[in-house]
Chain A
Amino acid sequence: MLMDRRVLILALIAIVQMQSAFGDSPKITAVLTSSDVVVGETVQLQIQIDNAGMSVRPPSEIDVPGLQIRYTGESTQMTWKNFSKSSSITYNYTILPEKPGSYTIPPQSIRVGKDNLQTPELTLRVADSPKAAASGGSNRAPSSNSQVGEEKIAFAELLVPKKTAYVGEMIPVVIKVGFNSRTRVAEMVPPQVNGQGFTVQKLGEGERNLENIDGRSYVVFNYKTAISAARIGNFQIGPVEQKANVLVPRRSSGTRRKPFDPFSEDPFSDPFFALPFGGLMEQHEINVKSDPVSLEVKALPVGAPPTFSGAVGSFSMTAEANPKRVQIGDPITIKAAISGRGNFDRMNAPELSDERGWHKYPPSSNFKQDDDVGISGTKTFELVVSPNEKLTRVPPLAFGYFDPVKEKYVTLQSEAVPLIVEGNAPATPAIVGVTPGASAAPTSGGQQKAQDILHQINETGKIVSSFTPFYARKEFWLAQLLPLTFALGLTGWKVQNVRASNRAALRAARLQHERDELLRKLRRDQLAPREYFSDASRVVQLKTALKQMNIEPATVDAETAARVFDLNAEQSERMRRLFATSDEFRYSGAGNGESALSSDGRRETLELIESLS
């Protein structure tokens, strides 16, 4: 038992090792948490490696003049699904821009096992200063709050990295909501971004940090999301609204307080704050709002390629098709993976650059995001196509998108896949004859196919009233009553036979027992003549009844015994004498004296009896 368990565990480990060994090849992605920042503001660079295994050597130093890039740590994520392990390692770097400008972070080479992977090239635009950023590239809502009292307890801020964007372009947005560290947040709902003319991606979980702002310590929740303008024009994004229940330390009783205005004075100037949370707290329902930020949304330029279907961003495409040897009409699955950053939710599948000779089925898609907000990742399309004629290749897939950085349309094309198509092309449509009975079955595969349907049939044919199979109908089970009755009758007959044969066997056993007892008495030679002949004739009767089972022993006489045992004349005569003597003794009242029967007579009688078989 223990051995079995060990074997099972070893087998499981082996399966897992094999799964791990033959798992997916490692993949690398690199993203910036924001591509537009101001001087002095930090931005995160995240390099994520999927299916990395154990031996990964990340770049310890990334050198870009004008940017201070420091490695800040790594995080590992492992998931198990159906005995399949997948892991990803994320290396985090903090970037601090030193001066304004547009910076290019070159591709970083990372060795993963035997593979050498490269990150994509990233661009970071740095504005001059917060003021310059507000009026220039970056678009940041001031952190001031209209509610005078609450600005010291909490604030909300909306950071939009751009002032202008194109319709459909995904713009990453950060919402910061801070609470004075001396308060305690009792209840808080996710912030809401108000405004019209744009869509907002679902807000993720807020990242909690402790920040020092203007000499005060705040607990700041950073929410990352993305917005996408739906139409052109000037829009106001926000304000961001945050409702929360906050516990604020209560003032001491000696302090004067204006009625209905608990925040008219700075609550943290109270000496009570020397012991934060040491005393009683009072709850305040607050509603903080950021200032809105303006965004100018431009229309996409004219001259979109035919393959453009609304994708805006920066993408790359890979494609593969299988199988590569098919019959005419057989399906071929083309898997196209589009990776990058942009509006994946409005992305349609790439198209065949030459659709002649192909039949297309509607595609299916699957999106795997690389970031928290879903603007970076890989969307995989599965297109099923089938050749209508002999073709030598699957034509390249074409995918068009608008690149807002380069401000132009880009068309990606995959490689053509060589293909072997077997079979003949279908014939041109032909009307099949309407002669009844001339309904030759159509051919399949590459053989010639008739394109029009066969004739109408005017005879109704056999009428049925149910699609239900026999065994689900009651008639079928009622029909089973017949064989059931037959089987029951057969069983009854069999039982009766067995009982009858049992009775016969019992009778035979009884007769045999009596015969054997009498024979033993006769052989002992101690019986009186009357008793001797009576027993001898009885033995003959028993033997006769045993020989012929339908005869009752009491009815057997000398003639019957002679007939049953087929005795000769002499034996028959002796038999007659035996029965006569027996009757004589029984009915004449003769004595039982010893002298009446000689030993020879006894022996002859015994021989006669024993010869019966």
Chain B
Amino acid sequence: MKLRARFQILVLLLFALPSAEGASNDGPSRTGDDLFAKANTEFAAGNFKAAIADYQAVVGSGEWSANLFYDLGNAYFRHGDFGRAILNYDRALRLDRRHPEADANLRIARDQTRSLELVPSALERYLNFGTANLFAVVAAIFFWLTITLLTLRPGRALWTVAGILLTAICGFAAYKSENGTHGQGLAIVIAENTEARVATVDSARSVLALPAGSEVLILQERGDWNYAALPNDQRGWIAASAVEKVRL
């Protein structure tokens, strides 16, 4: 009975610590709040350029939220910069994957630009039900459960193997989610008329023309050029100034 109570406390702590970190700033500072309100006013008045500047100032302060990136995406959309609009909708969805407005506007922006999207592998599509965070926490829970079982009932080999296997599977799922096509390397083409090339010179042969808002996966960064996986399953060099990573 005592053991069960201890375990419940442990699980609660496991979840509570990271989420407490995420929600540590539940009330925005006065400056960020004011700027955000001012940006909304500018947007409503049709001053999209000023709204973008104010939203960017909030972003610069580090007080991020899915709504902030969504609103910034809208401002870019209205300003006609569809590449950056898509980038910020993607950021909003990265912070809140069930943000319906960001999801809807992202589709509209993609229709506008005819941007190209990376095709996730079959495994990534299957793992799409969860996030890297979820898989990491579940992997940790399985791990500690296995350790506890191993300590209390050393003879239960089948349970131990199952626990280790589940830990490894969840750990691998977290890794794939983080390093797949929509992981940390995901970047959006923000410049118009961007070409992926076979070498790091502007005169090199073009591999693929990328409309603004297209997704690429940055594999390597070298000076002013990034080596990236492209939506057509090829790879090429893209000017670093033409793309921006979704993750800040």
Q: Give A contacts to B, CB under 8 Å.
A: 329, 359, 361-364, 386, 426, 439-442, 444, 449-465, 467-473, 475-476, 478-480, 482-483, 486-487, 490-491, 494
| Contact between B148 and A487, CB atoms less than 8 A apart | yes
Q: Give B contacts to A, CB under 8 Å.
A: 6, 10, 13-14, 17-18, 21-28, 32-33, 36-37, 40, 43-44, 62-68, 70-71, 74, 77-78, 91, 94-96, 100-101, 103-105, 107-109, 111, 114, 131-133, 136-137, 140, 144, 147-148, 151-152, 174, 178, 193, 195, 206-209, 211, 247-248
Minimum CB–CB distance for A440 against chain B, Å: 7
B residues less than 8 Å from A461 (CB atoms)? 65-68, 96
| Contact between B18 and A470, CB atoms less than 8 A apart | yes
| Contact between B114 and A482, CB atoms less than 8 A apart | no
| Contact between A456 and B43, CB atoms less than 8 A apart | yes
Please pick, from B108, B133, B136, B140, the residue contacting A451 in the complex, using a CB distance under 8 A. Answer: B108
Known: A460-B67, A465-B64, A469-B174. A454 touches B18 (CB 8 A): no
Name the prevailing secondary structure of the A interface residues: loop
| Contact between A471 and B26, CB atoms less than 8 A apart | no
Known: A386-B114, A460-B65, A479-B13. A442 touches B21 (CB 8 A): no
- Find the B residue at minimum CB distance from A455: B101
| Contact between A462 and B206, CB atoms less than 8 A apart | no
| Contact between A465 and B23, CB atoms less than 8 A apart | no
| Contact between B101 and A444, CB atoms less than 8 A apart | no
| Contact between A463 and B109, CB atoms less than 8 A apart | no
Please pick, from A457, A467, A479, the residue contacting B247 in the complex, using a CB distance under 8 A. Answer: A467
Known pairs A471-B132, A483-B140; list 19 more (Cβ under 8 Å).
Answer: A361-B114, A386-B114, A426-B111, A439-B101, A440-B104, A442-B107, A444-B107, A452-B108, A456-B43, A460-B68, A467-B64, A467-B247, A469-B136, A469-B174, A478-B17, A480-B140, A487-B148, A487-B151, A490-B152
| Contact between A456 and B44, CB atoms less than 8 A apart | yes
| Contact between A470 and B137, CB atoms less than 8 A apart | yes
Please pick, from A463, A467, A476, the residue contacting B17 in the complex, using a CB distance under 8 A. Answer: A476
A residues less than 8 Å from B207 (CB atoms)? 364
Give 7 nearest A-B pairs by CB, closest first. Answer: A362-B209, A471-B136, A479-B17, A461-B67, A483-B144, A467-B247, A469-B132
A359, A450, A469 — most chain B CB neighbours (10 Å): A469
Known: A449-B111, A480-B140, A494-B152. A486 touches B10 (CB 8 A): yes
CA distance A402 to B10 in the complex (A): 80
| Contact between B18 and A473, CB atoms less than 8 A apart | yes
| Contact between B25 and A467, CB atoms less than 8 A apart | no
- Find the A residue at minimum CB distance from B139: A471
A residues less than 8 Å from B21 (CB atoms)? 473, 475
| Contact between A476 and B36, CB atoms less than 8 A apart | no
A residues less than 8 Å from B111 (CB atoms)? 329, 426, 449, 451
| Contact between B105 and A454, CB atoms less than 8 A apart | yes
CA distance A455 to B43 in the complex (A): 11
CA distance A460 to B65 in the complex (A): 7
A residues less than 8 Å from B104 (CB atoms)? 439-442, 450, 453-454
| Contact between B18 and A475, CB atoms less than 8 A apart | yes
CA distance A600 to B17 in the complex (A): 80
- Find the B residue at minimum CB distance from A486: B10
Please pick, from A453, A463, A470, A486, the residue contacting B6 in the complex, using a CB distance under 8 A. Answer: A486
CA distance A463 to B18 in the complex (A): 14
Minimum CB–CB distance for B27 against chain A, Å: 8
| Contact between A441 and B103, CB atoms less than 8 A apart | yes
| Contact between A359 and B94, CB atoms less than 8 A apart | no
Known: A453-B74, A453-B108, A456-B71. A462 touches B114 (CB 8 A): no
Known: A471-B174, A479-B14. A460 touches B36 (CB 8 A): yes
